[in-house]
Amino acid sequence: MKLITNGIKGTEDILPGESYKWQFVEDIMRKQALAYGFKEIRTPVFEHTELFNRSVGDTTDVVQKEMYTFTTKGGESVTLRPEGTAGAARAMLEHGVYNDGYPIKAYYLTSCYRYEKPQKGRQREFHQFGMEVYGAPSCLADAEVICAAHSIFERLGVNDLSLELNSIGCEKCRPNYHKALREYFESKKDQLCETCLSRLDRNPMRILDCKSPVCSEIAAHAPTVLNYICEDCQAHFEGVKDCLAAAGIRYQVNPHIVRGLDYYTRTVFEFVSNDIGAQGTVCGGGRYDGLIEELGGTHTPSLGFGMGIERLLLLLESRKIEIPAPPVCDLYVIGIGDEAKRRAFTIIEGVRNASLIAEGDIVGRSIKAQMKYADKIKAKFTMVIGDNELAEGSAKLRNMETGTETIVPLNDGFFEHFFAAYVENDQSGLLQQLEEMKG
């Protein structure tokens, strides 16, 4: 039978057999965010187009080439979010979150959309984890955000990523750098692509981010921004480096990092891997002190990062870092006959209410097929209930690993006996789980 349609190019389905990997990574991200005092923010998947034009920058590849923009039935231009920062900043302003006092710390796990050539580690629908800080001008904030990203990699067992740092200056010193870039690229303009030619007068820094091999080669020899930053930016950058050194985090200064979005100022950074091909940047971020002002708020020093989940999973796979397998069925109960099936159903629900995994047949399998299925899903215990078991008021609880059987009552005493057998065989830390439930 032919399918009506397939998934859209540049999107991927996360199937039940793979989703546990995502959940494991996301759980670590959430826990580390909480450890650093961040709370979750969730924003709509689409925003008014002008939000991204103003924040991301209308000379960036994202705005010029990659955004999914469409007109609504009401005539509004809206865009699927290409990144998470702009929406978070808009929400913070719109709802007056700043009234709660600074710093504001928010994290998100979200999907983003960019129309670009799908390849390994880069899809048109992709997923990001991000952390955002508002109202924090100190270099300590930069170092804290970088340390937060570093801590996630550490928890996942990825210990040898390259942390690359740069400072791209502020509104005071950047005009001098722009002047130097224009002078340099003017002498090469006959070799630049059309897109870069359009950027030469408006925003020459964007040429440094061009993906064209010819433009990239020219940009590699362009003046470096660190030679043009002011004393304040230099002092801030030195402070970030000192804090990272004090925390024992190794880094290298890469004067060619500019990041692909216009809102960045001062500190920019990337965590880079050589194990996943051309798309080696797993995490990128920095400071964007002018973003809130650009969106209509007062001057609010801000910073953050985005971490690509697809790329991170590719990295874990390339490093052969094992993600713990998802929990398996704790008890599979087979009922023979209508009354026995009802009793099995009651027992299964009781076990589930104790936050364990219990299953029974819901598709009409034979007894033999149910036993095969219980073995397939790696059920830890099985139990068969039929007329004899109902008459005797008890059944045999079978440990599928050891083959041992225990007689358990089918009344309210079942749960006590089942949990005792469960703990005796040290199945997945039940005691700790029960204690957490009591807490």
- What CATH number does residue 151 fall under? 3.30.930.10
Is 192 a domain residue? Answer: no
Which amino acid, 32? Answer: Q
In a domain, 390, yes or no: yes
Count of domains for the chain: 2
Lowest mean pLDDT among 134-138, 342-346, 364-368, 433-437: 433-437
Same domain, 306 and 359: no
Q: Which tokens hold the place of 344?
A: 């099995």
369 and 276 assigned to the same domain: no
- Sorted by sequence, the CB contacts under 8 Å of residue 417 that are 6+ apart come out as 397, 406, 408, 409
Query: What is the rounded CA–CA span in Å between residue 309 and residue 156?
Result: 12
Reduced to 3 states, what is the DSSP secondary structure of residue 376? helix
Indicate whether 125 and 256 sit together in one domain: yes
Buried b (16+ CB within 10 A) or exposed e, 100-112: eeebbbbbbbbeb
pTM (global) more than 0.85: yes
> Residues for the chain: how many in total?
439
- Residue 294 domain-assigned (yes or no): yes
Whether 357 is in a domain gets the answer yes
**Residue 237 pLDDT class (50, 70, 90 cuts):** very high
| Each residue's pLDDT tens digit, 133-159 | 999 999 999 999 999 999 999 999 998
> Comparing 29-33, 104-108, 426-430, which segment has the lowest mean pLDDT?
426-430
Residue 118 has pLDDT above 90, yes or no: no
- Among residues 297, 318, 339, which one ends one of the domains? 318
Please tell me the distance from the alpha carbon of residue 55 to that of residue 72, in angstroms, as a whole number: 22
Residues 294 and 415 reside in one and the same domain: no
Q: 166 and 62, same structural domain?
A: yes
pLDDT band at 131 (very low <50, low <70, confident <90, very high): very high
In angstroms, rounded to a whole number, what is the distance separating the alpha carbons of residues 200 and 105?
Answer: 36
Let me know if residue 168 belongs to a domain: yes
Mean pLDDT of 397-421: 91
Q: What angle is formed at CA 48 by the lines to CA 46 and CA 54, rounded to 5 degrees?
A: 115
356 domain residue, yes or no: yes
Taking the C-alpha atoms of residue 427 and residue 439, their distance in angstroms, rounded to an integer, is 21
Which domain CATH number covers 374? 3.40.50.800
Residue 129 lies in domain: 19-173+229-318
Q: How many angstroms separate the CA atoms of 181 and 204, rounded?
A: 6
In a domain? residue 155: yes
Last residue of a domain, one of 290, 318, 346: 318
Which tens digits make up the pLDDT trace of 43-58?
Answer: 999 999 999 988 887 6
Residues 310 and 389 in one domain: no
Coil, strand or helix at 324? coil
Statement: residue 232 has pLDDT above 80: yes
Beta-bridge partners for 69: 79
Would you state the pLDDT for residue 197? 87
* 132 is a domain residue: yes
pLDDT attached to residue 248:
95
**103 preceded by a cis bond (ω within 30 of 0):** yes
Q: Are residues 126 and 263 located together in one domain of the fold?
A: yes
CA dihedral 373, 344, 433, 21 (to 10 degrees): 30
Co-location of 46 and 118 in the same domain: yes
Among 287, 318, 349, the domain-final residue is: 318
Does one domain contain both 351 and 414?
yes
Compute CA distances 380 → 63, 374, 399, whole Å: 53, 9, 6
- Position with higher pLDDT, 433 vs 147: 147
